[in-house]
A and B are shown apart, each in its own frame.
Chain A
Amino acid sequence: MDDEVVSARGLRMRYGTKDVLEGVDLSVGRGEVVALLGPNGAGKTTTIEILEGFRDRSAGEVTVLGHDPASAPESWRAGIGIVLQSWRDHRRWRVRDLLVHLGDYYRPYGTPGRPRPRDVDELLATVGLDDSADQLLMRLSGGQRRRLDVAIGIVGRPELLFLDEPTAGFDPEARRDFHDVVHSLVDLEDTTVVLTTHDLSEAEKLADRILILAGGRIVADGSPDALARQVAGRAEVRWSRGGERFVHAADDATAFVRELLQHDDEVTDLEVRRASLEDTYVRLVHQHEQGHEPSTQDERVGGAVR
């Protein structure tokens, strides 16, 4: 890739005798939004913390914005934004004071094309905190606190933004606002985004590309659409006849439906359902946990598996 912002080759992480990452390869290009999906304990947070330079790795080559995160100079941090979890830090500070203070660290790293830090008033408006600028952090609601976490993550106008479970605890409106913020960062400032999430619909809405991490490896890599096709190529056709429901998994749904309707006038409630990203995800993760034997679980959720 020409403009590679993140790359990892053979990334391994071992805690004691347990291998959490068993050779992760990944690559993220400039301006891409990549979601890292995976069940709990699959190593998402470990991976992202290694990329952030917050954690040492056991083996493998990692380059982020041209540096190995384990030995990168402090100036490297200026190009990276991290949306951390909400804790109880800076409880007695006011929202604006904290943003001004943390933004100040980035001042020496501004360029004409990428002025740093971001203007704090504009930033407050962007994340919808303009009315809470003089509020003490301890008086913010959970949702407001999370918006502030996002604001802190982007105050330095990062080239690469890490989001670890960014919308956990968001209400639907806050979630949509957050998605708008991410889209504008990517469209207007060419920001590269790497996020982890549990939320498949979020990954589908935000990500250009999805990486599924299971059993310490990347088991799937592609656009949400391609992933859905790649693993579960079949579609599910459902219909009713005489009050009875029928389900059929077809490789070529169009041909099947044409055939079905030609020979049967009593078909009603026809429904064709493409395999969704969720089907793919559940199936892949399940395969990994169970060895490669598809089971009844797949039938029920995936629908397209024999």
Chain B
Amino acid sequence: MTTTTSGTAPSRSVGRLPAPVAHAVRVGARRGVTEFRISLRNPEDLMFYLGWGGGVLLYLVLNRDALVEGTSITVPALAMPGLLAAMLVFGGVLGPAFALVLEREDGTLLRAKAAPHGMTGYVSGQVVLQALGMLPMLAVILLPSVLFLGVDMHRGLVGWLALTATLALGLVATLPIGMVIGSVARKPNQVSTWGMLPVLAMGAVSGIFVPLTQLATWMQVVGQVFPMYWLGHVMRWAFLPEEASVLEPGGEWRILEAVGVLGLWTAVGLLLAPRVLRRMARRESGSAVEARKQERMQRIG
């Protein structure tokens, strides 16, 4: 380790990040793992995972023999990839959004800000936590679907790789958006308004339960602007037989377009998030946290 006098940054670099930044990213990654372990021990978090995942699974089980109109594809086979996409967007946007607004309120962010490169560590921790947070949902929805509900991975190994890549791309496309919402929101209920409602609305026009082709044209257009449809599209491409493309708008698989739209959302998010996060962090101070605490007590009391 480079020794330094105070006030001067160590000069050694790892990869393209300056050494102290890389160090903070590693510290933050460990933080994310710790937070995930904590959430697994927490009954409320477990209820959340099992409640949502279990509800979705129940829907799939109840419709296990139903066929999608005009095809030989079962409802679970069509819906499961879309539900994974919905879950991914839900967690990717709302997870960090709620975390940021709540942890700004409770002083967690200020503690991070007080440490050298602490905000870098905090954000890294959020990324790792939200990524790991996908695992319990995957375990509850994906595993039983494949093992017991006859949902096949038609593209085999390529399909599994595509699924993994899609999960990664989905996180990269949604986490920055979630962090922007969490930074701009002043109170948790603003995240509900500006985060939860749009994501739920997105779910309605993204062809999760009903193929997009069966919706009104304007809904199809809106749906194709947002990441959820395209994440589901790639996942259906991976899981379903080639001819299932008749259920997609245009009647064919459009993987390049999917990557393009998701890439665009990623770019917008990565462009906005650092600026918005920095602005938000700059305003954090002890008296700001204290003022919010007072406000919160009035709200509740």
A and B assemble together: yes
Q: Are A85 and B116 in contact (CB-based, < 8 A)? A: no
Q: Is B195 an interface residue (CB 8 A)?
A: no
Within 8 A of B (CB), among A85-115: 85, 87-93, 97, 101-102, 104-112, 114
Question: Which of B23-31, B66-74, B170-178, B200-208 contacts the other chain?
Answer: B23-31
Q: Are B103 and A105 in contact (CB-based, < 8 A)? A: no
Judged by DSSP, the binding face of B is helix
CB distance from B24 to the nearest CB of A (A): 6
The 8 Å CB contact of B289, one of A85, A92, A111, is A85
Q: Is B108 an interface residue (CB 8 A)?
A: yes
The 8 Å CB contact of B4, one of A54, A109, A164, is A109
Q: Is B8 an interface residue (CB 8 A)?
A: yes
Within 8 A of B (CB), among A146-192: 152, 156, 159, 164
The 8 Å CB contact of A84, one of B9, B10, B286, is B286
Q: Which residue on chain A has the smallest CB distance to residue B109?
A: A89
Q: Is A55 an interface residue (CB 8 A)?
A: yes
Q: How far is the CA of A78 from the CA of B5 in the complex (A)?
A: 11
Given A75-B8, A76-B7, A112-B3 in contact, is the A84-B111 Cβ separation under 8 Å? Answer: yes
Q: Are B103 and A89 in contact (CB-based, < 8 A)? A: yes
Q: Which residues of B contact A164 (CB under 8 A)?
A: 286
Given A84-B114, A159-B6 in contact, is the A54-B285 Cβ separation under 8 Å? Answer: yes
Q: Which residue on chain A has the smallest CB distance to residue B12?
A: A108
Q: Is A73 an interface residue (CB 8 A)?
A: yes
Q: Are B286 and A156 in contact (CB-based, < 8 A)? A: no
Q: Is A66 an interface residue (CB 8 A)?
A: yes
The 8 Å CB contact of B106, one of A77, A89, A108, is A89
Q: Which residues of B contact A84 (CB under 8 A)?
A: 107, 110-111, 114, 286
Q: Is A32 an interface residue (CB 8 A)?
A: no
Q: How far is the CA of A249 from the CA of B6 in the complex (A)?
A: 52
Q: Are B27 and A49 in contact (CB-based, < 8 A)? A: no
Q: How far is the CA of A72 from the CA of B89 in the complex (A)?
A: 37
Q: Are A156 and B115 in contact (CB-based, < 8 A)? A: yes
Bitwise, A24-58 to B at CB < 8 A (1) or not (0) is 00000000000000000000011001001011000
Q: Which residues of A contact B107 (CB under 8 A)?
A: 84-85, 87-89
- Chain B contributes a number of interface residues (CB within 8 A of A) equal to 40
The 8 Å CB contact of B285, one of A49, A88, A105, is A49
Given A93-B34, A107-B1 in contact, is the A102-B115 Cβ separation under 8 Å? Answer: yes
Q: Which residue on chain B has the smallest CB distance to residue A54?
A: B285
Bitwise, B288-300 to A at CB < 8 A (1) or not (0) is 0110010000000
Q: Is B248 an interface residue (CB 8 A)?
A: no
Bitwise, B69-90 to A at CB < 8 A (1) or not (0) is 0000000000000000000000
Q: How far is the CA of A110 from the CA of B6 in the complex (A)?
A: 9
Q: Which residues of A contact B108 (CB under 8 A)?
A: 89-90
Q: Are A54 and B286 in contact (CB-based, < 8 A)? A: yes
Q: Are B4 and A105 in contact (CB-based, < 8 A)? A: no
Top 5 A-B pairs, shortest CB-CB distance = A87-B107, A54-B285, A105-B115, A89-B108, A89-B107
Q: List 17 A-B contacts (CB under 8 A).
A: A49-B286, A52-B114, A73-B7, A73-B9, A74-B9, A75-B6, A75-B116, A76-B7, A82-B114, A84-B107, A84-B110, A84-B111, A84-B114, A85-B286, A105-B24, A108-B4, A156-B115
New A-B contacts (15) at CB < 8 Å, excluding given A55-B287, A105-B117, A107-B23: A46-B287, A52-B285, A54-B113, A73-B9, A75-B8, A75-B9, A75-B20, A77-B114, A85-B107, A88-B106, A105-B24, A105-B121, A108-B116, A111-B4, A152-B111
